[in-house]
Chains A and B, each alone.
Chain A
């Protein structure tokens, strides 16, 4: 099969790989119809993911049709159209039963290398999906791949972040970064009661898209974003700040924005970045800080209902649809911010 493989910094190639097969009775094989390049993939692309190995198949956002199932799979049949969660979970352990699926001892993330379970990714024609009954969710026929694809990662991450940030009705929410993840935070925040949403970015197109979703666009090149936040919060600062980039400058910006007693949620992937403020600053300002890895298992049922009801249209963030064979160019474009979100078609 054809697959997107990582070979080193800014070096991804589309190459042949052996077709995956059933390894455990709970596995399914999914024939991928659409996959996406995620910001997390860019961390691999930039060689910032510990343990990433040359030749590993990347990608963790994908949707497709089940081709084959193992003998212990009960809920999913061949021919079923499904979206995958970005990581696996058993659904039966104490962590899963307390909705802490990230803490499941069977956690493996697709396409993220040996430190995340060494599970091949979904930017490929076929992918092996462990614990398929839990990892896959059936998709209604009426929903497009593009609308449902992000339930497995960035839409769930956006939603999980707002929930973890204890969003309250009327909250002023500042979103640092209006890339794909930030756009979906902007889209979800009003559904959970946000009063005002500000989207902070450096890219005109992304600011325009965020404005179309109802956010106040804040161009960080034009001045201190805190002034824009002060302007709409009576000089108090944001109730909830969502960092949706995962870089030191974005992190620094995020910690300038909350009000006294405000909340900061970190969604962008961070590895070695230091905290930009002291513990004393956090204490004296009474901040609550949460680092969140999205939980598709906890939130995909409600997110799918919101999409079906037309309250969410995640597919609108897709700026480019490209053949899987063009993945190297797609990565270059995404990295250069020439595209908001790219999906790949095998």
Chain B
């Protein structure tokens, strides 16, 4: 059974951590100017998040992506795996090698981006805790 009951929950939690990421001054200083535009398609439940790192743009839902939104990196994974990533429980490299995550785009850019997310994991846990979602924290 999927951890998130619907796409709104995906946006509530995974969307929020992306918002936090974009607003984080340290991360923002590192990703702005990279031209990185990422689209993540989650399955189970189906949901889409778009992130324009240069312009701090965050789009929750495929229908919310602006015209001309052209990602240079795309990821496809289950929403459970997306959740696991932000909890630090998903080894992205291993997940790719096992075929759990579909990645398109520049590998060097992705390798630069991944470590930047590490300090934000505690923020994700706090988002869940503040919302009383111990069930999502203890998976």
The chain A residues found within 8 Å of chain B, CB to CB, are 224, 226, 230, 233-236, 256, 260, 278, 280-281, 284-285
A and B contact pairs by CB, cutoff 8 A, 23 listed: A224-B104, A226-B104, A230-B102, A233-B99, A234-B98, A234-B99, A235-B96, A235-B99, A235-B100, A235-B102, A236-B99, A256-B104, A260-B96, A260-B97, A278-B108, A280-B108, A281-B106, A281-B107, A281-B108, A284-B107, A284-B108, A284-B111, A285-B107
Query: Chain B: which residue is nearest A280 at the CB level?
Result: B108
Contact bitstring B96-123, A, C-beta under 8 A = 1, else 0: 1111111010111001000000000000
From residue A267, how far is it (CB to closest CB) to chain B in Å?
24
A245 to B49, CA, bound (A): 35
Tally B residues with Cβ within 8 Å of A. 12
A-B contacts at CB below 8 angstroms, number = 25
Q: Which of B101, B106, B107, B111 contacts A235 (CB 8 A)?
A: B101
| Bound complex: CA A230 to CA B107 (Å) | 16
**Which of A233, A235, A284 has its CB near the most chain B CB atoms (within 10 A)?**
A235
Chain B residues positioned under 8 Å from A233 (CB to CB): 99
> A234: nearest residue on chain B (CB-CB)?
B99
A224 to B98, CA, bound (A): 21
What's the least CB distance linking A227 to chain B, in Å?
Answer: 8
Taken together as a complex, chains A and B put the C-alpha atoms of A217 and B107 apart, in Å, by 27
A233-B99, A284-B108 are known contacts; what are 17 more A-B pairs with Cβ within 8 Å?
A: A224-B104, A226-B104, A230-B102, A234-B98, A234-B99, A235-B96, A235-B99, A235-B102, A236-B97, A236-B99, A256-B104, A260-B96, A278-B108, A280-B108, A284-B107, A284-B111, A285-B107
Within 8 A of A (CB), among B118-136: none
- Residue in chain B with minimal CB distance to A285: B107
Note all chain A residues with C-beta closer than 8 A to B98: 234
For the complex of A and B, list the 9 residue pairs with the smallest distance between their C-beta atoms, beginning with the closest: A234-B99, A235-B99, A235-B102, A284-B107, A280-B108, A230-B102, A285-B107, A284-B108, A226-B104
